Amino acid sequence: MEFPEVRKTKFTKDFSWGFYCTKNLQQAVRWANRGFGEPVVNRYAYRPAPDLRILKFETMTDEWLDFIAKCRAGGTHGYDVVEGPMANDTVWNYVNDFIRGNISRKQFWVLAEFRYPTHQISFHTLSALNCLTYEGSDVIYDK
């Protein structure tokens, strides 16, 4: 995808609608192998502009959990770029249970504690997308 886009879709993501990337190659390969057709992994250089509004979560924190819960419920935000851990399918089930009130915040952290590290960075505006330079793509099958 040489020219990425931000599209509003039916389903919201961890950091709301945006163009999602990761610096974790193994994770990118897993994402690429989830659909049909050849599993294509795109490579981009990212050079953030100084005027971008960037939110970065270094680890899973209460603020991260609250932000994801808001975004997954359809809420939006004013950031150009958001970066941090990903609520993968297992963690998302815990987030959903937390949102519904089925588990407490404390129970969420006990369940999420031993999940493998993940990474995502999402680009939400044209200004953010302009900080990406397409470097190429590769077909990589998950082993």
* Residue 106, SS3 per DSSP: helix
Task: For residue range 34-72, list pLDDT tens digits in order.
Answer: 888 999 999 999 999 999 999 999 999 999 999 999 998
- Give residue-wise pLDDT tens across range 71-125: 988 999 999 999 999 887 778 888 889 989 999 999 999 988 766 678 999 999 9
Instruction: Please give the pLDDT value at position 9.
Output: 85
pLDDT band of 142, cuts 50, 70, 90: confident
CA distance 141 to 138: 10
pLDDT at 76: 93
Give the pLDDT score at 90. 79
Q: Is the pTM above the cut of 0.85?
A: yes
CA–CA distance, 2 with 116 (Å, rounded to integer): 30
The DSSP line for 76-92 is: ----SEEEE----HHHH
The pLDDT of residue 12 is: 83
Strand-pair partners of 102: none
pLDDT for res 143: 75
